[in-house]
Structure 1
């Protein structure tokens, strides 16, 4: 199984590219904030005692790291799911030729291990370099002591690699559980069908996430005005938990939203518009997988931008200075947006690329490439619209909670132009990604993919 796993990684590197990028981000992020902690912990006592502006390096590293690592974890879990989905047919074939569930799980663990180790060194180097650049920026703004330096120690990188392996192995164990446990004769059928119902356990966990996100937003809203940093972190964490809930309960909301938003497309494009809507509603889990990263991008970016503008207005009303808080939020926004953008691109390409057989069958029954591209365009627009609406809803709730703490009013200050650019950015990542992957998937003769050729 070890040899087979290594052979699959060598033969189909594209199937693991998204996972490798996700692992790289997780290693780099964890190394970054671990290096900042090490900088403070290993500094001489006189340097640590130097007064600085803002909350201090340990607080900044903890607050940034908490959210960034959670988002990176979210991206990794999503990427692992798609990496395994692209191998479902191969794993099913192994089950039909007498591979045991234990052997299948071992094969997947080896793949995770190889992919994580391949990006460990570049991820660690990127994290250390990012820590140095961030520390320089903090020193220039008086938010870190002048004598602080990133220490030359491998400990943060080793901890980051350990965390990445634990996350990867745990997520893969959950993802591979279904395909490794079912009967070999049913394994191939499982690769071509989608269950119509969302599991009770999934809905229960999603409901718990909704409650947890609501409690975090309530905590944010009840923070006093002199604890806006804590209110902001609680609101941002609450928005992330709500986005997890969206991912878990998404198939239910996705079908309803597609039906409503698909009405104009059905009117404008009676054929391809209807087919696009039917595809999205019929494969609600696939739609959820594609729309969740869009919601993540819109929800986190929108929350951060609206909180920043609200904090500026609150500071202006009281005559307080807020340059430090604004800069910190802008830096955090840039980091989180990078993660969400990578997740969006990885996901939409993976979701569309695994539909080669579906496209081939449509071509065999008479659909032209132009018709398929029109259908994919309609699907891309609907997917983007659903993700934007869900992300905007989460951002509205989170920013209202923060605004209540900052100004006493649930009506935040909304930078309309900036929020508009967020929507444009989400569409710019999603629509070309889906169309590009779709264009590649419909190339070549239709008979081979439809008959079970390699993807």
Structure 2
């Protein structure tokens, strides 16, 4: 019996490996997301190990800040949460690329459990593929990060990154758990419906968001509002507590936007799509119709941009507001200390890496998946230039939707913080830093759509369309 189970497991792993070799491009985004997860967890695990394995005299050295273990734990927690979000997003598009094959397996008597086992095997093989470069990157990052903390007096000078394999093994185990959690969240669209329904769903595209998701989004949105109210009602001398409540409220609101993304994208696309429809009637109309018609899919591209703009904007505006309050009162807090500002910048850099991977992977997958649509448009007379113009308008609208949602979250969170510490709900806006955030959002979105569009529009299937007519 055990031999039969072992052979069945080996067959599933072999099938997963063959599938990855057949279509490596479909697994590229997932591999990069898992590589970043391994690297980040190895980095922060190595930092914690450096403190825990240090000699007693070095470990007792007084430092500026909460200590290396607390810093590593806080960053590691953020890395796990963000990695789960990004891996779910990347796995969703990996499954979309092989949706028809997995649905066909269901039609030939494969059970939902067997399909999930195959997907878990694919994730496991991908984790092993990303393990070596992720561990190397994480170890190098740990040495750099420890040196940066030591230069700022936040870590003891005598600490060194140990050679123990425990942080690496823990990083791989946690990354695998993140991947398996992503399977549980992303595989339901294939395993829940009946076999014929799963196959049909893959042909007709993504359905609208369900009522449960909308209700959950509204409930989380209300929770975010309560947190911002808590931040706004703090006394001026409780600046640190107001900042913590505002940042937590920002994260909760971003979660609500992730749940309500399809609805939010459809509403904003309707409003923002009006000018392009007037200024560029053909390309603008097509771009606006696609954004509204495929809002459920495009929301997964908008949400990472919203995450980037919302978190970075909140941190920048809160720091500017706190500095203004400190100049007025002369009392420094952890919000304005140079070491804590640097820590928030490092945290933001980690989030930017994950958001960049998620955004680029999503946009490339979405645009490349539309080659058939481009071929049909060519058949009805659209030129290559018109298709690229349409994609440019889509990219601009996608960027605008993500930026507006992120800016709304940032202004809400920072406004609550400003009301608590200055008495005004209108915080000071750092102009130059805000411009860099907007430029970063555009740099992630525009090249991803237009660049992939150049490849997709120039493909043989699309180029041959006029000849077929």
TM-score by length of 1: 0.92
Report the more deviating stretch, 332-341 or 240-249.
Answer: 332-341
Say if 2:265 is the partner of 1:250: no
Q: What does residue 371 of structure 2 align with?
A: 356
Counterpart contact for 2:208–2:296, Cα < 8 Å: no
Show the counterpart of 1:383: 398
Asked whether 1:393 is paired with 2:393, we answer no
The separation in 2 between residues aligned to 1:120 and 1:216, in whole angstroms, is 39
Q: By how many angstroms is 1:407 displaced? A: 4.0
CA pair 403-57 structure 1, distance change in 2 beyond 3 A? farther
Alignment match, 2:119: 108
Return the alpha-carbon distance in structure 2 between the equivalents of residues 69 and 395 of structure 1: 23
| Residue of 346, 350, 353 corresponding to 1:338 | 353
Instruction: Please name the residue that 1:206 is paired with.
Output: 217
Query: Residue 6 of structure 2 corresponds to which residue in structure 1?
Result: none
Alignment: residue pair count: 450
Which whole-Å CA distance do the structure 2 matches of 1:408 and 1:144 have between them? 37
Output the CA distance in 2 between the equivalents of 1:70 and 1:277.
Answer: 33
State the match for 2:228 in structure 1: 217
Given the alignment of the two structures, is residue 6 of structure 1 paired with residue 17 of structure 2, yes or no?
A: yes
Q: Counterpart of 2:137?
A: 126
Greater shift in the superposed pair: 209-218 or 384-393:
209-218
CA distance in 1, matches of 2:228, 2:249: 6
CA shift in 2, pair 1:302/1:86, >3 Å: same
User: How far apart, in 2, do the equivalents of 1:339 and 1:333 lie?
Assistant: 10
Q: Distance in 2 between matches of 1:126 and 1:221?
A: 41
Q: How does 1:314-329 map to 2 (within 5 A)?
A: 314-320=325-331, 322-329=337-344
**Is contact 1:26–1:72 with CA below 8 Å preserved after alignment?**
yes
Moved more, 281-290 or 149-158: 149-158
Contact 2:30/2:90 (CA < 8 Å) preserved in 1?
Answer: yes
CA contact (8 A) 1:363 1:446 kept: no
Q: CA deviation at 1:19?
A: 0.6
SS at match of 1:151: coil
Q: What is the CA distance between 1:15 and its match in structure 2?
A: 0.7
| 8 Å contact kept, 1:361–1:446 | no
Q: Give 1:116 shift.
A: 0.9
Structure 1 unmatched ranges of 5 or more: 451-455
Distance 1:69 1:237, change over 3 A: farther
Q: The residue matched to 2:85 in structure 1 has which SS?
A: helix
Shift of 1:349: 0.9
Cα distance in 2 for partners of 1:172, 1:284 equals: 23
The answer to which of 101-110 and 65-74 deviates more is: 65-74
- Indicate the residue corresponding to 2:311 in structure 1: 300
- What pairs up with 1:148-297 in 2 under 5 angstroms? 148-194=159-205, 197-221=208-232, 228=239, 231-297=242-308
Shift of 1:346: 1.4
Over 3 Å counting, the alpha-carbon distance change for 1:2 and 1:145 in structure 2 is closer
* Equivalent residue, structure 1, for 2:75: 64
Q: CA deviation at 1:204?
A: 2.4
Contact 1:280 1:286 in 2 (8 A): no
1:220 Cα deviation (Å)? Answer: 4.2
Q: CA deviation at 1:352?
A: 1.2
Q: Distance in 2 between the 1:146 and 1:247 partners?
A: 42
Alpha-carbon spacing, 1:318–1:135, altered in 2? closer, same or farther (3 Å): farther
**Cα displacement string for residues 237-282 of structure 1 (whole angstroms, at most 9, x for unaligned residues):** 3322221211111111211111110111000111121111111111
Deviation by residue 1:365-403 (Cα, 9 ceiling, x = unmatched): 222221111111111111111110001111112222333
For residue 410 of structure 1, the aligned residue among 425, 440, 444 is 425
SS in structure 2 opposite 1:149? coil
CA shift in 2, pair 1:61/1:413, >3 Å: farther
Distance in 2 separating the partners of 1:227 and 1:122? 44
